[in-house]
Amino acid sequence: MSNIGKLMKQAARMQQQMEQVQAQLALRTVEGTSGGGAVKVTAKCDGTLAAIKVDPQALNPADAQILEEMILTAANQALGQAKDIANSELGKVTSGLSLPGFG
């Protein structure tokens, strides 16, 4: 088989593996918390948010800005964890491949 044929076969296999990993990442979740657990954000490892839970005791209208900051902190924490997991899992698929931009 020619080098081009081998490369095409390897690329097709890698594409299939990437699609499988991406599907698995869409199902995997992580959680970020803030305010001592008053705010919990669940993110999927595909980079989307799945849920936001706020303890009813944290719902004081006078503290709206603090609550907003806690939600933002928890969301960024969860999305950061999700991104790290996604990068790790996708990196496993491309490891050992010596193509520019995929190593």
pLDDT confidence of residue 90? 84
Quote the pTM value: 0.68
pLDDT confidence of residue 54? 92
- pLDDT > 90 in the chain, percent: 41
Instruction: Say how far apart CA 67 and CA 44 lie, in whole Å.
Output: 22
pLDDT confidence of residue 7? 82
Class of CATH domain 3-94? alpha beta
The beta-carbon contacts of 9-14 under 8 Å, at least 24 apart in sequence, are 10/97, 14/93, 14/94, 14/97
pLDDT confidence of residue 15? 87
CA distances from 42 to 19, 47, 97, 102 (A): 23, 11, 33, 29
